[in-house]
A and B are shown apart, each in its own frame.
Chain A
Amino acid sequence: MHLHGTALWTLHPALCTLHYPMIETYVIPLLKILVLLNAVLVAVTYMVLLERKVIAWVQVRLGPMRVGPHGVLQPIADAIKLLLKEDITPARADRFVFTLAPIVSMVPALIAFAVIPFDSEITLFGYRIALFVADVNVGLLYIVAATSISVYGIILAGYASNSKFPLLAGLRASAQLISYEIAITMILVSIVATAGTLSMVGIVKAQLEAGVWYAFIQPVAFVTLFIGGLAETNRAPFDLPEAEQELTGGFHTEYSGMRFALFFLAEYANMIVVSAVATTLFLGGWLRPFPNVEALSFLGFVPGWMWFLLKTFVFLYVFIWIRATLPRYRYDQLMRLGWKVLIPLALANLVVTGIVKVLL
C-alpha cells in the first residue's frame, strides 16, 4: 500500500514543487479548509436573507428592512434568537438520534465542498494556490456519495420525533430524495462520458479544451440535472414533505431552536452544492464565457473564482425564483415525474451521448 503517495495525491500536484514542503502539505490545505468552511457557513446564513428578500420583491413587498440597513443584519438576529431558544426534546424520543439527525443533515453538505473547484490557480504571497481543497479523481462520485448520506438526516429526524406524522413524512421525503438521486446520477454519467474524467477539475478543463460549456452540448442533461437538483434539495415545486399547508408538519415538526435552524441551513447548503455542481459541470466552472474566443479575452480581467460565484449565484436566484412562482406537486405526481419522466430522459441522454461519442 502506497499510503504516502495517496496522502499527497489529494493535493494539487504543483504544490510539490515549492520551497517549503511543510507549509504546502499542512498549512495551506488547513487554511483552505478554514476559509472554505467559514465562507460556506456565512453564505448559507445569508442565503436566508437572500431568499426572503427575493421572494418579497417578487411578491410586491420589501422583506426584512429593520435589522440593519435593508435587513442586512437579519440573519445574525435570527441566529442569536435561535441560539437563545429553549432546547426542547420530545418526551420518550431517542435523544442521541434526535441530536444526531440535524448533524447528519448538515455535515455531508459541508464536506461536498471539498472537491468543488472555485478556480484553477491563483498566486498569493508568492505561493501558487489552487482554489479547491482537493482534486479527487472520483470527485463527482464523492459529491453524490455525500448527498446520499444526507438522506439519513431526514429519516432519523422523522424517527427520533417519536410521533407517527413526522416519521411518515420523513420516510416520504427520503423516498423522494432516493428516487431523484437515480436520475441525477445517470445525468452525471453522461457528463462523465462527455468529459472523460470523474474529477471536477478535469471536467472544467475538458470544457476548456472543447471550447464550449457543456450546457450547449448537453442541454437535456442540464435541464434534467436542474430539476433533479430541485427535488434533491426538497425545494419547491417538490417541497411537499416540508410544506406547512399539509396536514403533517413534516419531519422537522418536533424540532425547535438551533436544531431546526441546522436543518434549514443544511437545505441551503445543499442548494449551494447543487448550484456549484451544475456550474462546474455545465457552465464551465471558473471559465469565462466563450473561453476560447480571443476577442473576448478582456473578460479575463475578472478572476475565475468571480465567474464561478456569479454563475452559482444565478442558479441560486433561479432556485428562489421558482419557489416564489410555482405551485407544488403532490407526492404521487412528484414520484411519477422522477421515475417515469426524468429517469427515462436521463437514460436516453446517456444512450445518445454514448452513440455520439463513438461516432465522433
Chain B
Amino acid sequence: MLEAIVFYTLAAFVLGFGVLVITARNTVHSVLFLVANFLCVAVMYVALAAEFLAVIQVLVYAGGIVVLYLFVVMLVNLKAIPEAHMDPRRRSRLGFIVASAILLEVSAILVYAARRADAMPLPAGGGDGTPMTGNTEIVGWLLYTDYLIPFELASMLLLVAMIGAIILARREA
C-alpha cells in the first residue's frame, strides 16, 4: 500500500517534470526541470533498493552531464524559441504516422516482456562466495567480470569523445 502511494507520487513528479522540460519557455528553466526529473528518478531507484544506481544517477547524470548541458545553454544564449511549427518543410502527417507506428511497436514489446514468466534472475552471490550484501557489490561484481568488455568499450567511447572535444576546441596557437 505504502509502496503504491510512493510509486505513483514519484511517477507523477517524474512525468510532470518531464512535461515541464518540453514546455518551458526559458531554456535554462527547461534544464532545471530536467535536473528535478533526474532527482525524482533517483528517488525511485532508492525505492527499488538500488541505492548505488540512485547515487550514481545523481552524481553522474544530474551532477555532471546536465551541468554540461547548462554550460552549453548559457554560452549559446538562446533568446528566442525557434518557431518550428512555421517551417514550410515540415511534414506533420508523415511524422505523426511514423511516431504512432513506433509507439505501437514499443508497447508491443513491453506487453510481450511483461507476459514472459521467466525473468532473468540476478546472481545472489559472486562466483567465489564473496558475500554480496548490497546493490553496489552486485553491480561491481557483474560489471568487472561478466560485462567487462562492454565496460571497457564504453570507456573507450568516452575517451574518444573527450579527445575529439579537445581537438575541436583547441586553438592553433
Contacts and interface: CB of A to CB of B under 8 A. Distances in A.
A152 B47 contact: no
Q: Which of A152, A167, A178 has the most CB of B within 10 A?
A: A152
B67 to A, nearest CB: 6
Contacts of B26: 94
A198 B136 contact: yes
A6 B49 contact: yes
A5 B71 CA distance: 40
B28 A159 contact: yes
B51 A148 contact: no
A155 interface: yes
Given A97-B28, A155-B74, A159-B74, A148 B58 contact: yes
B64 interface: yes
Interface in B83-117: none
A144 B54 CA distance: 12
B55 A142 contact: yes
Nearest to A192: B136
A333 B7 CA distance: 48
Contacts of A96: 29
Contact of A145 (B3, B49, B63): B63
Interface string A127-161: 00000000011100110110011011001101100
B132 interface: no
Main secondary structure of the interface of A (DSSP, over half): helix
A137 B136 CA distance: 9
B32 interface: yes
Interface in B39-78: 46-49, 51-52, 55-56, 58-59, 62-64, 67, 70-71, 74-75
Contacts of B47: 1, 3, 6
A236 interface: no
B12 interface: no
Interface residues of A, number: 30
B71 A1 contact: no
Contacts of B63: 145, 148-149, 151
Q: Which of B7, B29, B74 has the most CB of A within 10 A?
A: B74
A174 interface: yes
Nearest to A148: B63
Contacts of B16: none
B56 A6 contact: no
Given A148-B63, A155-B74, A2 B28 contact: no
Q: Which of B46, B52, B59, B64 has the most CB of A within 10 A?
A: B59
Nearest to B133: A137
Interface string B131-167: 0011110000000000000000000000000000000
A4 interface: yes
B145 to A, nearest CB: 16
Nearest to A4: B2
Contacts of A144: 55, 59
Contacts of B32: 97, 100, 156
B14 interface: no
Interface string A94-113: 10110010000000000000
A278 interface: no
B51 A137 contact: yes
Contact of B64 (A100, A136, A178): A178
Interface of B: 2-3, 6-7, 26, 28-29, 32, 35, 46-49, 51-52, 55-56, 58-59, 62-64, 67, 70-71, 74-75, 133-136
Given A1-B48, A137-B136, A174-B71, 9 more contacts: A1-B7, A3-B3, A6-B49, A94-B29, A138-B51, A141-B56, A145-B55, A145-B63, A156-B32
30 contacts: A1-B7, A1-B47, A1-B48, A2-B49, A5-B49, A6-B47, A137-B133, A137-B134, A138-B134, A138-B135, A141-B52, A141-B59, A144-B59, A145-B58, A145-B63, A148-B58, A148-B62, A149-B62, A149-B63, A151-B63, A152-B35, A155-B70, A156-B32, A158-B74, A159-B70, A159-B74, A167-B74, A171-B75, A174-B67, A178-B67
Interface of A: 1-6, 94, 96-97, 100, 136-138, 141-142, 144-145, 148-149, 151-152, 155-156, 158-159, 167, 171, 174, 178, 198
